[in-house]
Amino acid sequence: MNETFAIKTKKIKFDNSGYYALGLIALAILGFWPTYFSKFLDGTANFNFYFHFHFAMSALWIALLIVQPILIKKKKLSIHRQIGKLSFVILPLFLISVILLKHYMIGGEVTEGSGASMWFLFKNLIVIGIMYIIAMVNRRNVQIHARAMIATGIVFIEPTLGRFIIITLLPEINFMVGLGITFLIMYALIISLIIIERKQTSGRWVFPLFLILLMVFHFLFFFQVSFPLLDSIANWFVRLPIT
């Protein structure tokens, strides 16, 4: 009886997640090869600083997601904690890079219903921000901390896999169809994680919360939901002299 109970309540180990996070590198290469990496080979790379800054911060965050679980697996807890402190710098810089790149790509153009175009920006800032805060508040609770940090990595699937599907796999470029397919793949992944760990007793609320947040922002973007206050905020953002 006690043995059965122990099996049912055994916690999922996430120290192998760093190896899975290596897949984000492959997705990044596949997704950004046509529009970014290949340009350096054919001599047509003329990207603004904001593209390079965003790439550098994204790469550093993915590197953390790869290295930190591996350090835990190898019981290098002291090094894990020291490197973890870098996240207090890297994540804010990553979020700043998202804001700057979005602002630069808009190019100062104020359009009708511009608020609807801000949902992707809000999703990155809010969803990743919430998951990171959860991870840091619960950094001594491995079950919650690990799930929340993994969630920040899953967010990166959207821009990488999405671009690969839209540019490479679809017979013709269709932004909304490609994103729709990507969203469904992400939902399937998160729901699979929820099902796999359904008998866990600690931290299993993190992935359902993460899924709900993603679905809300995806709905708002997909159906181009906007309202006057959001449009005003978006127009204010566009006019800011930051890029």
Per residue in 94-122, pLDDT tens? 999 999 999 999 988 888 778 998 998 99
Residue ranges per structural domain of the chain: 2-239
Average pLDDT over residues 153-180: 95
Going 162 to 163 to 165 to 166, the CA torsion angle's sign is positive
Kindly state the percentage of the chain with pLDDT values over 90: 83
Angle at 134 between CA 200 and CA 192, to 5 degrees: 40
Quick one: DSSP state of residue 86?
T
State the first-to-last Cα distance of the chain, in angstroms, to the nearest integer. Answer: 64
CB-based contact 168:35 (threshold 8 Å) = no
Give the pLDDT of residue 12.
Answer: 59
Nearest Cα to Cα of residue 235 among 112, 102, 96: 112
Average pLDDT over residues 26-49: 94
Give the pLDDT of residue 158.
Answer: 95
Average pLDDT over residues 65-80: 93
22 pLDDT band (50/70/90 cuts)? very high
The answer to whether residue 6 scores a pLDDT higher than 50 is no
The answer to whether residue 170 scores a pLDDT higher than 80 is yes
Give the pLDDT of residue 15.
Answer: 77
Give the pLDDT of residue 89.
Answer: 98
Quick one: DSSP state of residue 94?
H
